[in-house]
Amino acid sequence: MLGRGVLSRLHTLTQQKTHTLTVYVDIDQNKQSNRKRGYLVQAEAMFKELRGQHGRSQRLDVAAERALELLRSIQPSGKAVLVVVHPDTDLGEIHQIELPFAAAAHWRRGAFLRPIVEAMDEHERYGVVLTDNKRARLFTAQMGELTEHEDLLSETGSWVRALGPDQWRAQKRHDSRHQEEVASHAKRAIDALHDLSLRAPFDRLIVAGPPQATGQLVRLLPKRLSGKLVETITMRVGADRKEVLNKILAVQRRMEREQESKLVEGLLAELHDGGKAVADFASVLDAVNQGRVWKLFYAKGLRKEAGECRECGAYLPHSVGPCVYCDGEVQPLTQVIDRLSQSVMEMGGQVEVVDGPAAEKMKPLGSIAALLRY
């Protein structure tokens, strides 16, 4: 799976003086144009456009041919692929992704990973336990990918109605035994869930299944897991993977929008009180240059123009003229928001990409702001 560790490694390996080719290709096989490797035509068209923008370059030609080789090598199963090639270090990797991404090619210093970072911010890893009184299935879900880790079966007897002359006492014994077996199954599922949280740590937990079974399991959750619980869902334990994933994605979207709104409300309150926060593009650039940004906020899809000083490397709100820090020459900066995001993360900060109602609240701020360390 394409995780933050892979992104960090790609970012580090491509921080060279020479350019890196980053390509996002739509390979969705539900689209007629992508079948029979039609996505190769899409990639070749993007490379032709890059050559038109940057002129003839042997390094770009080598990188494009390597990217095409990687694309030819896959059996398409996802919605999109990320290809990263840096010819000088012999880096060439391809990763299939279960989420759709707009087709794009970038030839620049450093891998262009902003779309993946934004998607990861919106798709935290969820742990899921789908259970009834006899069976429990354990999943993790992230970036549109669902992984089933375990399928447990317990010897829980069915509830029966007691018969005979001492029906009341017999029913009570049957009910007690049945409840013990149900509780034992729930504890077994929780033990497996705890082990899963150590092997594949998740940020949030969803418990799904018939109401009686989910209620029993939720009551028995230890604090470490109950603190991650965000939703219980009614679902058949035998539901197929598509149904499970769709239910999880619906919860993820709602939770993400709610969390973004709360974070932006906190940001606005900090700005209103004159606290450790800045808004507007120029102020955010200045804070990034000083290494003061703890959390960068911006609206999804935001585009800005800016410059970078050739001498001191500072970011400026203008793309030509002198640097306000060292009087050096300023050159245009490409992929501005991506570079800002990477700089903040390199300094140990966080990036919050907001959408929906939260993005609307940020429009008066220029759609970009930051919480500061000091």
Domain presence at residue 117 = no
Distance CA 316, CA 324 (A): 8
**pLDDT greater than 70 at residue 266:** yes
Domain match, 214 and 293 both: no
**pLDDT greater than 60 at residue 161:** no
Beta strands 20-26 and 350-354 are: unpaired
Domain match, 71 and 143 both: no
* 65 backbone dihedrals φ, ψ, rounded to 5°: -65, -40
Domain presence at residue 141 = yes
* 38 backbone dihedrals φ, ψ, rounded to 5°: -65, -20
> Is 81 in contact with 95 (CB distance < 8 Å)?
yes
Q: What is the CATH number of the domain that holds 360?
A: 3.30.1330.30
Domain match, 97 and 139 both: no
Domain match, 144 and 89 both: no
Domain presence at residue 245 = no
Domain match, 22 and 92 both: yes
> Is 294 in contact with 324 (CB distance < 8 Å)?
no
- Which of 112, 143, 163 delimits the end of a domain? 112
Taking the CA atoms of residue 212, residue 248, residue 226 and residue 351 in that order, the dihedral angle to the nearest 10 degrees is -170
Residues spanned by the domain of 293: 258-372
pLDDT tens column, 295-349: 999 998 898 999 999 999 999 999 999 999 999 999 988 778 888 887 887 788 8
Domain match, 367 and 266 both: yes
Q: Record the tokens describing residue 88, joined without a space.
A: 């000088």
Share of the chain above pLDDT 90, in %: 59
* pTM to 2 decimal places: 0.61
